[in-house]
A and B are shown apart, each in its own frame.
Chain A
Amino acid sequence: MVQSDFEGSMDPRDELVTHMGVLRAFALSLCRNSATADDLVQDTVMKAWKSIGSFEKGTNMRAWLFTILRNTYYTNHRKTRREVMDSDGHFAATMSVKPEHDGALAMTDFLVAFNQLPDEQREAITLVGASGFAYQEAAEMCGVATGTMKSRVNRARQKLVELLDLSDEDSMELTDTGTMAVLTAHLPVRRA
């Protein structure tokens, strides 16, 4: 990821604040629960602020923050493994995205599928597919080989294709359940 000269010359504390939005998005992709994600971001900020002196100016602060966040997440996760993080599917409800009724894949359907991915696959596809990190950068952040990161992203993609039934040509024009109900409301009912 390219680091701008502007960011390289900023006070790291000022730069840290500029990454809060993406840090929250990454936290939510891991936690699948808005309140837990915000707590995780606060823990991350406190840790990062405390060790800001060890941050090397001009290097990738976003990667540094994401690494602190994921380490904190997995440490906490091990402690609370038995907790049910999203038993009622609250994650999808916390995402304030607006589904587009244009024949594209519905966001709510996508999020339900995304939530079913294992931690390491959600993390991998978020880092590479949404956060803009190269495979190598994402691999370094997660402490795995680049090949492992590629494999995780690929498995995540395959699982999403399977869960969203995107392998079939006829199902490529997905829309959300509500729209489908309207679209199919006028179809004749076959009676036995």
Chain B
Amino acid sequence: MNKDKRESRADNLIKDNLRRAFDDKASEELPTELIALLAQLRDQDDQNGTK
């Protein structure tokens, strides 16, 4: 395997794993604390009449 092909394959392996790790975390359910915070901020805006 020549050097260019080796480098290209290494790059692809790294990109695949990087994206898989990122996408997997990004698709997790949001923690309840974060959902509660978003709801609280939304409620505050509603009470203050903020749009």
Tell me the count of chain B residues lying within 8 A, CB to CB, of chain A.
32
Chain A 9-21, CB-CB to B under 8 Å as 1, else 0, gives 0010100010011
A87-129 with Cβ < 8 A to chain B: 95-97, 104-105, 107, 110-111, 114, 125-126, 129
Instruction: Report if A45-B41 is in contact (Cβ < 8 Å); known contacts: A25-B25, A129-B18.
Output: yes
Tell me whether chain A's interface is mostly helix, strand or loop, or mixed: helix
Task: Indicate if the CB atoms of A21 and B1 lie closer than 8 Å.
Answer: no
Using Cβ atoms and an 8 Å threshold, which residues of chain A touch B25?
21, 24-25, 28, 95-96
A49 touches B27 (CB 8 A): no
Per the 8 Å Cβ criterion, residues 17-35 of B in contact with A are 17-28, 30-31, 33-34
Contact A104 B16 (CB under 8 A): yes
Cα A148 to Cα B9 in complex, Å, equals 24
Q: Find out whether the CB atom of B9 lies under 8 angstroms from the CB atom of A107.
A: no
A161–B28 touching, CB < 8 Å: no
Given A17, A111, A166, which contacts B10 in the complex, CB threshold below 8 Å?
A166
A157 and B14 form a contact (CB under 8 A): yes
* Chain A residue at smallest Cβ distance from B22: A130
Query: Is the pair B14, A160 in contact by a Cβ cutoff of 8 Å?
Result: yes
Residue A134 lies at the interface, judged by CB distance under 8 Å to chain B: no
Seen from chain B, the residues whose Cβ lies within 8 Å of a Cβ on chain A are 1, 6-7, 9-11, 13-28, 30-31, 33-34, 37-38, 41-42, 45, 51
Binding site for B on A (CB under 8 A): 11, 13, 17, 20-22, 24-26, 28-29, 38, 41-42, 45-46, 49, 95-97, 104-105, 107, 110-111, 114, 125-126, 129-131, 157, 160-161, 164, 166-167, 169, 172
- Sort A-B residue pairs by CB-CB distance and give the 6 closest, nearest first: A130-B22, A21-B26, A25-B25, A166-B10, A110-B17, A25-B26
